Amino acid sequence: MKSLMIQGAKIIATGSAIPSSSFSNHEMSEVVNTSDEWIFTRTGIKERRLLQGNDQSVVDLAVLASKKALNQVAMDPCQIDLIILATSSPHDLFGSASKVQSQIGAFNAVAFDLTAACSGFVLSLVTASQFLQTGVYRNILVVGADALSKWVDWSDRSTCILFGDAAGAAILQSCSFTHNAILSFQLNTDGNYSKYLSMAYEQDISPHPKLNIYQGYFKYISMNGKEVYKFAVFQVPLSILKCLNSLNMSVEEIDWLVLHQANYRILTAIAEKLSISKNKIISNLHKYGNTSAASIPLVLDEAIQNKKISHNDIVAIAGFGAGLTWGTIIVRW
Ligand code: UT7
């Protein structure tokens, strides 16, 4: 989809943060009936970082990632106009973005959470780019942070082996139209399949005795892995192609494929469908597992620090997950 651009937008800095405790597949096999061999061959994951103990939260990770991004460009936090925190595991259901705002000292920024599970970072980047390209704001901090270790059923081996905790941040800045780097985006939702991946609200069986109000709680993550797998491998290549078509670009022009780090088999199947060399897939899934909204900024930040992605490279970024929601952004770095 083309936006009404007055200004351009570009990503000027990235940062990321992970918990200090790593948790290997071998350690996982002491919690549920699984093995390093099964997890690695089916997913590509070797270990993940988990928020163990109670001295660090998802907000702390988001704050650390944000500070690293700010330091990278020596930006005063007061220059940030908007903070979007993509998370599905906030510390507060009213939103955690305001806590990030206060802890980094971004006192001029308005801050809100965006809930879109593993597509949250892509949707937040698109949202931020709209505020920049229409000339409303100058600097926006986008953070993807999740701590799904708090929400998995640690007795369900089909889900608990997949997820890790992390945060990643990016600072977007408006620029002249000719220097625009957020070239195009393509977003989708199909709520008919939301049942395949959810963290649903469960109502108590009986209401308040005087008010007839049912209260409840949120259940653990439930997932139909096979259906989510098929959906991702079918829909993500189509989304990337639609996005490229809107720019009259060919698949060959993509330098790097930065996909939501869900499963290495999904990443390679998507690349194969697009006839993109596996060498163009950027992945760090073996170290961190699926970190939901954090996975894309986490892997992006690593690739930038390692100087893998360089100036003018064309990067296809695609997210997919619960909703079901999926989408692509094409960025010129
Ligand atoms: O963030 C976006 C959302 N999530 C995803 O992208 C996940 C997408 N799906 C997947 O990545 C894969 O479907 C999984 C990795 C979750 C599962 O891989 P699979 O190849 O689809 O395995 P499966 O569910 O078909 O299970 C195959 C077998 C089953 O045993 P039987 O019925 O064949 O005897 C499972 O019970 O593997 C068993 N199994 C396990 N065995 C050892 C399931 N989980 C495990 C486990 N360890 N952790």
pLDDT at 280: 97
| pLDDT in the model for residue 38 | 98
Strand intervals (E) in 119-251: 139-147, 165-175, 182-189, 197-198, 201-203, 216-218, 222-223
pLDDT of residue 3: 58
Q: What is the mean pLDDT of residues 85-91?
A: 96
Mean pLDDT along residues 122-143 = 97
**Ligand 1 atom 13: residue of nearest CA:** 225
Parallel/antiparallel/unpaired status of strands 110-114 and 165-175 = unpaired
Identify the pLDDT of residue 301. Answer: 98
Q: Is the pLDDT of residue 5 over 90?
A: no
Active-site amino acid positions: 118, 260, 290
Name residue, tokens 């991702």.
Answer: 232
The rounded mean pLDDT for the chain is: 96
Q: Is residue 9 pLDDT above 80, yes or no?
A: yes
What integer pLDDT is reported at residue 2 of this predicted model?
A: 53
Tens-digit pLDDT profile for residues 22-70: 999 999 999 999 999 999 999 999 999 999 998 899 999 999 999 999 9
Residue 131 has pLDDT above 70, yes or no: yes
Could you give all domains of the chain from N- to C-terminal order, each with its CATH number?
Answer: 8-179 (3.40.47.10), 182-332 (3.40.47.10)
Kindly compute the dihedral angle of the four CA atoms of residues 303, 305, 310, 312, in this order, to the nearest 10 degrees.
90
* Whether the predicted pLDDT of 290 surpasses 80: yes
Q: Averaged over 117-146, what is the pLDDT?
A: 97
Q: Using the mean position of ligand 1's atoms as its centre, give its distance from the Cα of residue 239 in Å.
A: 25
pLDDT at res. 55: 83
**Ligand 1: which residues within 6 Å by Cβ?**
34, 38-39, 42-43, 118, 157-158, 161, 197, 225-226, 228-229, 232, 262-263, 266, 290, 321
Q: How far apart are CA 80 and CA 137, in angstroms?
A: 9
CB-based contact 151:46 (threshold 8 Å): no
Query: How far is the C-alpha of 62 from the C-alpha of 142, rounded, in Å?
Result: 10
Task: For residue 161, give the nearest of 24, 54, 283 by alpha carbon.
Answer: 24
Other C-beta atoms lying within 10 Å of the C-beta of residue 174:
24
Q: What is the DSSP string of 48-92?
A: EE---SSS--HHHHHHHHHHHHHHHTT--GGG--EEEEE-SS-SS
Residue nearest to atom 9 of ligand 1 (CA): 225
Which residue has tokens 């620090």?
Answer: 305
Q: Point out the ligand 1 atom lying closest to the alpha carbon of residue 228.
A: 8
Distance of alpha carbon 116 from alpha carbon 122, whole angstroms = 9
Burial label for 50, CB within 10 Å (0-12, 13-18, 19+), is buried
**Cα atoms found within 13 Å of the Cα of residue 113, Cβ hemisphere only:** 23
pLDDT exceeds 60 at position 179: yes
Burial of residue 29, with CB atoms counted within 10 A of its CB: 0-12 exposed, 13-18 middle, 19 or more buried: middle
Please answer whether residues 8 and 135 qualify as being in contact, where contact means their C-beta atoms are separated by less than 8 angstroms.
no
What is the pTM for the complete model shown?
Answer: 0.95
Of residues 3 and 155, more confidence is placed in 155
As a whole-number percent, the residues of the chain with pLDDT over 90 amount to: 95
Residue nearest to atom 10 of ligand 1 (CA): 225
| Among 215, 217, 220, 216, residue whose Cα is nearest residue 199 | 220
78 — pLDDT class (breaks 50, 70, 90): very high
* d(CA 152, ligand 1 centre) in Å: 15
pLDDT at 54 (0 to 100)? 86
The pLDDT tens digits of the residues spanning 197-255 come to 999 999 988 999 899 999 999 999 999 999 999 999 999 999 999 999 999 999 999 99
Q: What was the pLDDT predicted at 200?
A: 93
Identify the bridge partners of residue 318 per DSSP, sorted by sequence position.
259, 328
- Kindly tell me if the per-residue pLDDT of 173 is higher than 60: yes
Rounded to whole angstroms, how far apart are CA atoms 51 and 145?
12
